[in-house]
Structure 1
Amino acid sequence: MKERIKDARPMMDLMAKKVFSNTEITAQFIRDILDLPVHHVKILDGTQIHNHQFEDIKTYVTSIDVLAALNDGTQVIIEIQVAYQFDFIKRLWLYLCNQVTKNADEHKKDGVETHKLAEELLPVYTIAITQKRYFKDEEMIHVFCFKEKNTNDELKVYFKGFEEEQDLALMAFLELEKYNKDKIQEYKKVRWIEFFGNQPYTQSPEKILEQADRIVSRIDWTKEEQKMYDERTRYLQAYSSFLATIEKDKKDAINQAMTEGLEKGIAKGLEEGKAHGIEHGKKMMIISLIKDGLLSKEEGAKRLSISVFELDDYLSTDE
């Protein structure tokens, strides 16, 4: 594939957060994908970059989710998904439901009576940008809403502060793997697939995409941000090598591959080489793989020889 920008990684979690921290870009992205009259946005969550330390294991990691509030109060969750995960769509729905519940809890704190909570709630929608395909057709972009089964009428309701009825729920998906420059219909939407897929633009980019390209080119990044990016790139390269090794010999070479992957990708991960260090490093790498969307929870639990519920405990205590 010919890259639009050499070695750019728009789908890297750190990079995506950097892009969406620009409120003009985020506003245009939501405007294009969900067809909403967005005037401005506020990023509620998703711009922070954390330095997690796992004892001797150090790397820069970020939470992938971006939560944006539109000028009318509507909230939009943006999720980046690199590797295919069987339950990803359900997980995205869970994020939406959790955010609605969180908003309701905030109103409870303000003293709103339970039977009046529904009056205070505002729309919460989701957009997923996925590297892999999740739907069998060849449509690059899907936007789902609630519809009546027989008449196909959309389910819309009145929300506080809105003059017209709004969709109760919207879930949009951009599938980069389906990109086909010969089947473009709505370029305002598809241009974001070209952007995140690092594909050459099929039309002259507008100013907003030029801003986004400048970010992924890292022209104006600080030295600290450059360091984070370099650290993250080396870490993900170690992941790729690690996964490739596992695929060659899933049974006999798993522990050896994990040890080698940690030694190459994480400077101090397995210095002592003792059994405790190996097991700890193995657990930490699998947790990181799951958080980066490179490994499903089911596969991670299998490789750790534990249940998915036990793995959930690991993930929750590691936040």
Structure 2
Amino acid sequence: MIKKTAPSSDLQFKKLFGSPENEWILVAFINDLLDLDVESAKVGNPYNIRSFHKNSGLQVTEVDVIARLADGTLVTIEMQIAHKAFFIERLMHYLAEKYSSNFGIEKLEKIKNGRHEVKYSSLRPVYSINILYYNQFQEDDEPLHTFVPYDIKNKTILKSEDGRPIWTVVTLELLKPSEKLKGNSGYWHEFLKKGNAANKAPKHVKAASKIVEYTNLSKEEQAMLDAAQRAKADQEAEFAYQWIKGEQSGIAKGEKSGIAKGRQEGIKEGVQEGIKETARKMLKKKMSFEDIQELTGLTQTEVEKLSKE
């Protein structure tokens, strides 16, 4: 039975940030992570357990929650459990897609300088919040990154007509220390990572922790989470089987080739090749990079290299 309170499942995450009745928590989350002063937001793809079961099942979707602010600005909130190849490229693809989605919706006849505009005036800045259960940026231990289009030579930001950056991307890496965070973002980091709402956490974070608790879910939601847990256990068993099979195969190959180049060296090379072969099989089954790294001991670079073969 699942008792973890952190919203690490797709269902819990969408229930928390995608339910219309929880929009006040969504607004607070957006303000805390983007440092904005938003008063209201509407979920573009509302959570409903029946439609979720029909459309998503136990799978994780690519963009989890889409929020539209009062002026039409879009905010995408995504959760990534494990590293995926070309994550940044995919992130920017969806960001550009959402930016273009408002094109031509509003037809303004005049703007301040007297020009007539009927298409581009409806475009709004876009925001992307990405919660990562892995380290995307290995070069530092900062859990929160904020990116905007920036002119490195003249030190200026590319802004829209209203003075906001044309796009903003925020990443919150949960495997990095939350002690480096100040304000409410630190409380969100702790909750999203462990499910804990600190005593000093604001009321919206404490409310969020209650919403995703297993005992507070409906019977249907609990059943779906239980099924997801069983599916994960089956997948882990498959990992273990492939690992043992690959290791045995590698040792056999190593012993055979060891006649010519030295038994110990041959076994070592054979085991390594067996590990790589196991990783290749896992990739074919679309298993996550993080799980492959954990089970095989290969580095992120090695797994990425194998994925491109």
Report if TM-score (shorter chain) is over 0.5.
yes
Question: 2:194 is matched with which residue: 198, 218, 232?
Answer: 198
> Is contact 1:50–1:62 with CA below 8 Å preserved after alignment?
no
Q: Which residue of structure 2 aligns with residue 51 of structure 1?
A: 54
Classify 1:47/1:243 alpha carbon distance in 2 versus 1 (closer, same or farther; 3 Å): farther
SS at match of 1:96: helix
Task: Determine the C-alpha separation between the residues in 2 that align with 1:215 and 1:252.
Answer: 46
Q: Contact 1:125 / 1:169 at 8 angstroms: preserved in 2?
A: yes
Distance (whole Å) between structure 2 residues aligned to residue 145 and residue 52 of structure 1: 33
Aligned to 2:142: 139
Equivalent position amino acid for 1:14 in 2: L
| Residue aligning to 2:232 | 236
Match of 1:88? 87
In 2, Cα distance between the equivalents of 1:169 and 1:126?
Answer: 8
State how far apart, in whole Å, the 2-side matches of 1:192 and 1:130 are: 13
Give the equivalent residue in structure 2 for 1:278: none
Alpha-carbon distance, 1:219 to partner:
3.4
1:201 to 1:210, Cα distance in 2 relative to 1, 3 A: closer
How far apart are 1:251 and its partner, in Å?
A: 7.8
Distance in 2, Cα, partners of 1:12 & 1:173: 18
Mapped to 2, the partners of 1:12 and 1:251 lie a distance apart of: 32
Match of 2:213 in 1: 217
Counterpart among 119, 122, 131 of residue 120 in structure 1: 122
**Equivalent residues of 1:80, 1:130 under 8 A apart:** yes
> Does the Cα contact within 8 Å between 1:13 and 1:64 map onto a contact in 2?
no
Equivalence for 1:172: 170
Aligned residues: 254
Partners of 2:92 and 2:122 in 1: how far apart?
21
Q: How does 1:1-319 map to 2 (within 5 A)?
A: 7-21=4-18, 22-45=22-45, 47-48=47-48, 49-51=52-54, 60-65=58-63, 66-104=65-103, 107=105, 116-135=118-137, 136-158=139-161, 164-181=162-179, 183-184=180-181, 186-198=182-194, 200-201=196-197, 203-250=199-246, 286=285, 289=287
CA RMSD of aligned residues (A): 3.7
Distance 1:130 1:62 in 2: 13
Structure 1 residues 194 and 245: alpha-carbon distance in aligned structure 2, compared to 1, 3 A threshold: farther
Cα offsets for 1:275-299 (capped at 9, x unmatched): xxxxxxx99x936x56x99689xx7
Q: Show structure 1 runs of 4+ deviating over 6 A.
A: 292-296
Contact 1:8–1:217 (8 Å) recurs in 2: yes
Q: Corresponding residue for 2:255?
A: none
Q: 1:118 to 1:245 in 2, by over 3 A?
A: farther
Secondary structure of the residue that 2:172 maps to in structure 1? strand
Cα distance in 2 for partners of 1:9, 1:236 equals 17
Report Cα offsets for 1:210-267 as digits up to 9, x if no partner: 21111121333222122112112222232333334434444888xxxxxxxxxxxxxx
Query: Which structure: larger Rg?
Result: 2
Q: Give the Cα–Cα distance (whole angstroms) in 2 for the partners of residues 293 and 51 of structure 1.
A: 28
Q: How high is the TM-score relative to the length of structure 1?
A: 0.68
Deviation at 1:134, TM superposition (A): 1.0
| AA of the residue aligned to 1:234 | R
- Structure 2 unmatched ranges of 5 or more: 110-116, 250-280, 293-299
**Cα distance, 1:50 vs structure 2:** 2.8
Asked if the contact 1:141/1:174 (under 8 Å) is kept, the reply is: yes
Contact 2:25 2:204 survives alignment (8 Å): yes
- The alignment partner of 1:79 has SS state of strand
Output the TM-score relative to the length of structure 2: 0.70
Sequence identity (%): 28
What letter corresponds to residue 129 of structure 2 in structure 1? I
Q: Deviations over 1:69-113 (max 9, x none)?
A: 112221011111111123111111111112223333x739x9x9x
Query: What is the DSSP-based 3-state SS (H/G/I as helix, E as strand, rest coil) of the residue aligned with 1:77?
Result: strand
Displacement, 1:46? Answer: 5.6
Deviation at 1:201? 4.6
Q: Distance in 2 between matches of 1:294 and 1:77?
A: 26
